[in-house]
A = this chain, B = another copy of it.
Amino acid sequence: MKTTVLIFLLATSIATSHGLEHGIDYKIHPLRLKSGSGGHYVKGITCSSWRVGVEAHNIIEWKTIPQECEGYVGNYVLGDEYREDSKVVNREAYFYAKSIDVIKDGKNIWVFDIDETTLSNLPYYAHHGFGVEPYNATAFDEWVNLGIAPALPETQKLYNKLLSLGFKIVFLTGRPQSQKDITVKNLKDAGYYKWEKLIVKDVSKYKGKTAVTYKSNERKKLEEEEGYRIIGNIGDQWSDILGTNTGNRTFKLPDPLYYIA
């Protein structure tokens, strides 16, 4: 599996890192570019409408992407649109951050989720039907433990700008304690060189709890016990930005691959 993953990684890192106009390696998935975003119907709805429905949180608690949308989602995430959509969100986040008068007491933080926010698992998902296959914990953990997930380039630009503006960065991820070391290595290798905190999930404490509960609780600790102010909060899941102590402003990055409640 390792070699295959590396080939995927190469292809998708080219697509995501350099913003090529058509940076898709056709070898990795039998994709065809559609002539327009409205051209692919699934049970009477288009895949593009399904995607917008997901982004605006109208379609919730879905387990897998619609089977008929595998090609559409693959084209979207490996093509320009995913990159462009991510760019717009990160750009708005930067405009907002720039407008803030950062008090220099070191307590202004920006919360980043990790998967599909900071690091991309596209090399994995390209190999697993772009979300058509039900979540496979074993296979996904195997991928995470390789520690080779590439940075999402538009998020990385925001990260660097926020550091320049004087924000402290807190990573808040659903990854478990057992994956903390490999996550630290992966973040550093991908160019995220500095942070205030990296919060991983205490799996025994949050067993059976939703991501909204886990993340709200950890953000509450940050603000109420540790005296931080969450100025911004960015993630690819609505569960990253709903709940309590969400931060002064939240940003939802695109993610048509999976849904975490």
In angstroms, Cα B49 to Cα A224, docked, is 36
Find residues 96-151 in chain A having any chain B CB closer than 8 Å to their own CB.
none
Interface centre among A38, A45, A251, by most chain B C-beta atoms within 10 angstroms, is A38
Name the CB-closest residue of B to A93.
B58
Copies in the complex: 2
Please give the distance in Å from A79's CB to the nearest CB on chain B.
8
- Show 22 A/B contacts (Cβ-Cβ < 8 Å), sorted by A: A38-B81, A38-B84, A44-B87, A45-B88, A46-B84, A46-B88, A48-B81, A48-B84, A49-B81, A49-B88, A52-B52, A52-B88, A53-B88, A53-B92, A55-B56, A56-B56, A56-B57, A56-B254, A58-B89, A58-B93, A59-B88, A59-B92
Of B36, B50, B252, the contact of A88 (CB 8 Å cutoff): B50
State whether the Cβ of A85 lies closer than 8 Å to any Cβ in chain B.
yes
- A58: B residues at CB distance < 8 A: 88-89, 92-93, 251-252
In the complex, whether A91 has a CB less than 8 A from a CB of chain B is: yes
- A3 interfacial contact with B, CB 8 Å: no
Q: Which of A219-249 contact B (CB under 8 A)?
A: none
| Residues of chain B with a CB closer than 8 A to A37's CB | 36-37, 48, 81
Instruction: Give the CA-CA distance A16 to B79 in the complex, in Å.
Output: 31
Smallest distance from the beta carbon of A19 to chain B beta carbons, Å?
A: 11
- A46-B84 Cα distance, complex, nearest whole Å: 7
